[in-house]
Amino acid sequence: MKKLSLLLALLWVSCYPIIGQAVTTDPLLPTGDKEVTLIFDLKQSKDSRTKGLLGKTSDVYLWSGAGTTATGNAFEYVPTGQSNFAEPFTNGKMTSLGNDVWSIKITPRTFYNVPTSKSIKRLGVLLKNGNGTAQTEDFFVTMYDAAFSLAFLSPTESTIVLKSGQDLPISLKASAKAIFSAEISVGNTLINNTILNFSTDSTDTFTTTIPYNSLAKLINDKSSTITMKVQAKAKLGTATAQLAVLVPPQITTAEVPAGWKDGINYLSETSVGLVLYAPNKDFVHVIGDFNNWETNNNYLLKRNTSAERYWIQLDGIEKAKEYAFQYLINGTVAVADPYAEKILDPNNDQYIPSATYPNLKTLPSSVKTIASVFQTGQAAYVWKNTAFKRPAKEDLVVYELHVRDFVANKNYQAVIDTLSYLKKLGVNAIELMPVQEFTGNDSWGYNPIFYFAPDKAYGTKDELKRFIDKCHELGIAVLMDMVFNQADYEFPYVKMYWDGSKPSADSPMFNQTDRHPFGVFFDFNHESLATKAYVNRANAFWLQEYKIDGFRFDLAKGFTQKQTSNDAQFRLYDQSRVDIWKGYYDNIRKVDASAFVILELFSEDLEERTFTNMGMMVWGNHNYDFRGMMKGETVDLTRLSYQSRGMTTPGVVSYMESHDEERLIYDAVQNGKTANSYSTRDLATALEREKANVAVFMAVPGPKMIWQFGELGYDVNIDFNGRTGQKPLKWEYLTDARRLKLYKAYAAMVQLKTSQSIFKTTDFSIDLTGMQKKVTLRSSDNTVLVVGNFDIQAKGMTRLFPSTGKWYDYFTGSSIDVGDLDLPLFLEPGEFHIFSTKPFPKPEADIVPWKVPSALVITGIEEEATAVKLFPNPATNMVRLSVPTFRKGDTHYEMYDFYGKMVKQGKVEETNTDISITDLKEGLYLIHIQDAQRNQVLKMIKQ
């Protein structure tokens, strides 16, 4: 668990219940003042982050604390030196016992520095690796009174569920010889104890077996939970231990009422129907505010004849009041409703600022895990913008945004207040990184746990709707990042079907092990009808309830049951995957015929073309190549064109950066190339080169995506504070003139792409293989040429313009007359231009440093009477420039080799000027001649 600060080192982002024996102690009844061995069996951990610890033989550490109350803060005291979760804690180094079992010996009072005046009631413990990237969930170890204590040896669980006919063996141990007695209650009713009798002899252990029939006779209509409270009296004092025994109740069989859906059904302002899909489960109770969170057979759900669904109708509900509730499965596993639109998390909600989520309901202290909420009579959000027209997909410029790392207040309202910034940038779509409820409050969101509930860490559901509404008002579509390749433990259909370390074999939705090499949490089975039904309903929900404009689906390649071990296999055409996605896409289209569907696929071209032909889009990752261009490396950007992939429609959403990629500027400044005085490691240089990047990037037709703050040259390493950890805000970049010009260059290119139809032409050609890049766009009334020199020295580009005549330079506003198509254009390193035969509206001045094309060599043919003449040509040792006497003012010349390097310069006299060329290599040279009125270029060949 990543700690947010030393002061808040006890605030955990997740807490799972202990099932099985993940942590045991020796002695069984540990005390604060004597040495205790803590033993961890990592195979019993339920947190998916534990995967990074399995199989290790070293680099495993204890992170822990001690508490002085039985139910309060278990990390009230922490060991000396335990401060940085991202570093190894030497005093917590664990000893491997083999087979993923680890141990450590501590004396709690000295290890945690607990004053002798305080009793230690429990420990909070977890295991992690040295840098904190892998960890278990939090576990809690009960500590006992040093004088006298009592505990159950078996069963080890605090609640045991009997199967029909199953007898109950029990075993207790006291820390000294004592006299045992028992108190039995059913529900809240104390009864006469006739089933648990003890010898009057003093002993430190007790073992017996209680017959099933004896237990079954005790249950009543209201409760099937029998509580045994055992007391041991000794000279040292009195101690107690408690066990809850649940005898399976008799279930009523009845079909789910017509029209009811899985989840919460609002029947009236005072009545709610609950339906839980739970095949292979024996019985289900609902517990919550309406029954004081007690297991009561009056709240036992009916079961349909197929034994797949459980349901109940709750009447007498108070209108508009929020009710928290859980389903208690088989008497032991409490889960929230998987379709709930709001959940309450007792371990994390307390850290959500009231400004982000005011008046957030709290759970009773007895509720330790996530609960769901229903509320009748809710006021519907009134949408202000109901006629929003989505951009064409070929015009899409998507801005990928993570709420946590975009605004200081980390909520929807703060993003709403910032939308003018994005409107000025010109983007026409925002893609929100996952905002459905995820584990904890601090995450990228790719660890989802509830798919219908917006995460409260970012605000209320109406704030999210208000954000979408405002975006539509500004002409901006909103896309949601959907994570249906995996889910975390608290997703009810993971938690309900759990075998102690992974999803159980009878899980209706999940594979026990990942089917592909990129698994992180728990892997959905998308061939399951239950999974398909859930995904289809979630997609429809967000389109209808929140008016989302479409989806980006994470790891879409993982929607397969085909087992692969490497990406070379994983990316091959998979007909099952195609069929699964066609089914999801068809259902989306039934709900919303124009919704965008973008797949993070990265499969082979044949499969990607199959999806784009259907109407979907796929992600196109060009980060590596654009980073190379920034640094001065030779890269091939040909696949930036959807046509190069064999696609007939612009279905590739290309990007230079995403949440998952290193930042362009950071990589250039750290790793760029240098030549003479020019260095791509210089920040100012790197910012200029990114302008050239975005010009080529936006010029190639097709939808585009920008990662947040790329337009300002964000230069913080992606692994800062851990890859998915919070990154620093850099809004101060707007006060840096260099970065502001980069923003304006982005905005100018976005404006061209979204407003000029030629930027979605299908008639285009590209030359993106060498150090100099070229994109040519053609339409009936215009031709656009985008050129850039990505070398680290000046270079000439030949046969550049497709036609002679007048061309307009977008960023400088100047025009040039192209005469000789063979003459090269010389560009400085990082220099780029956007030429067109028809002028575009000129952007703000001085966005780029180029006033006119550097060392402009393209000109119309000079009139014979005023032209400077060159002879001999070809030449060997000397050439002569002959200048007409009536040219006014000083005339100068500059001689360049083919690569753009100036090799000679000087003043031209009024008559003849001889230039020695004996020191030059053979080849083509260009002589630029310029006076106050004219600019002329002569070609010379050195023999």
pLDDT in tens, 522-579: 999 999 999 999 999 999 999 999 999 999 999 999 999 999 989 999 999 999 999 9
CATH number at residue 823: 2.60.40.1180
Distance CA 495, CA 722 (A): 28
Distance CA 459, CA 403 (A): 10
What letter represents residue 160's amino acid? I
Same domain, 128 and 44: yes
**Cis ω on the peptide bond leading into residue 169 (within 30° of 0)?**
no
What letter represents residue 859's amino acid? T
Residue 585 near residue 616 (C-beta atoms within 8 A): yes
Same domain, 138 and 155: no
Residue 501 near residue 512 (C-beta atoms within 8 A): no
Residue 111 half-sphere exposure toward CB, CA atoms < 13 A? 27
pTM, full prediction: 0.80
Please, which contacts does 586-594 make with residues 24 or more away whose CB atoms are closer than 8 Å?
587/536, 587/539, 587/540, 588/539, 588/540, 588/543, 588/551, 589/615, 591/539, 591/540, 591/543, 591/544, 592/543, 592/544, 594/390
Same domain, 39 and 137: yes
When divided into structural domains, the chain yields a total of 5
Same domain, 200 and 286: no
List the beta bridge partners of residue 913.
881
CATH number at residue 94: 2.60.40
Same domain, 240 and 319: no
Distance CA 652, CA 641 (A): 8
Give CA separation, 457 vs 354, 364, 366, 431, in Å.
10, 20, 23, 18
CATH number at residue 287: 2.60.40.10
| Domain membership flag for residue 716 | no
Among 104, 125, 142, give the residue marking a domain's end.
142
The burial class, CB within 10 Å (0-12 / 13-18 / 19+), for 735 is: exposed
Give CA separation, 305 vs 66, 167, 339, in Å.
50, 29, 22
Residue 490 near residue 453 (C-beta atoms within 8 A): no
Short-list 258, 269, 377, CA closest to 315: 269
Short-list 524, 162, 495, 194, CA closest to 343: 495
| Domain membership flag for residue 609 | no
For 501, other C-beta atoms within 10 Å of its C-beta total: 18
What letter represents residue 477's amino acid? A
Same domain, 209 and 268: no
User: What does the angle CA 651 – CA 654 – CA 655 come to, to the nearest 5 degrees?
Assistant: 160
For 916, other C-beta atoms within 10 Å of its C-beta total: 10
Same domain, 96 and 126: yes
DSSP alpha helices (H): ranges in 571-649? 575-591, 605-614, 623-631
DSSP 8-state secondary structure symbol assigned to residue 566: S
Range of the domain at 798: 763-836
Please, which contacts does 726-731 make with residues 24 or more away whose CB atoms are closer than 8 Å?
726/404, 726/405, 726/442, 727/405, 729/405, 729/406, 729/407, 729/408
Among 114, 142, 170, give the residue marking a domain's end.
142
List the beta bridge partners of residue 392.
none
What letter represents residue 703's amino acid? P
Same domain, 136 and 154: no
Q: Are strands 550-553 and 477-482 parallel, antiparallel or unpaired?
A: parallel
Distance CA 826, CA 857 (A): 7
CATH number at residue 919: 2.60.40.3080
Distance CA 571, CA 568 (A): 6
Q: Which pair of structure tokens corresponds to residue 865?
A: 């009477």
> What's the confidence (pLDDT) of residue 15?
30
Distance CA 943, CA 583 (A): 69
Give CA separation, 783 vs 394, 697, 770, 845, in Å.
19, 17, 22, 23
> What's the confidence (pLDDT) of residue 675?
87
List the beta bridge partners of residue 209.
169
| Domain membership flag for residue 158 | yes
Distance CA 218, CA 211 (A): 12
Run of H or E including 213: helix 212-216
| Domain membership flag for residue 362 | yes
Same domain, 138 and 154: no
Distance CA 411, CA 450 (A): 19
Same domain, 135 and 154: no
Q: Which pair of structure tokens corresponds to residue 472?
A: 């539509």
Residue 561 near residue 576 (C-beta atoms within 8 A): yes
809-818 per-residue burial string, b: 16 or more CB within 10 A, e: under 16: bbbbebebeb
| Domain membership flag for residue 530 | no
| Domain membership flag for residue 184 | yes
Residue 49 near residue 135 (C-beta atoms within 8 A): yes
Q: Which pair of structure tokens corresponds to residue 777?
A: 């766009």
Distance CA 695, CA 816 (A): 20
The burial class, CB within 10 Å (0-12 / 13-18 / 19+), for 653 is: buried
Short-list 881, 747, 67, CA closest to 420: 747
DSSP 8-state secondary structure symbol assigned to residue 77: B
Distance CA 900, CA 902 (A): 6
Same domain, 935 and 906: yes
834-871 per-residue burial string, b: 16 or more CB within 10 A, e: under 16: bbbbeebeebeeebbebeebbbbbbbeebeeeebbebe
Q: Within the chain, which residues score under 50 in pLDDT?
A: 1-20, 854-865
Among 197, 212, 246, give the residue marking a domain's end.
246
Same domain, 240 and 268: no
What letter represents residue 668's amino acid? A
| Domain membership flag for residue 594 | no
| Domain membership flag for residue 282 | yes
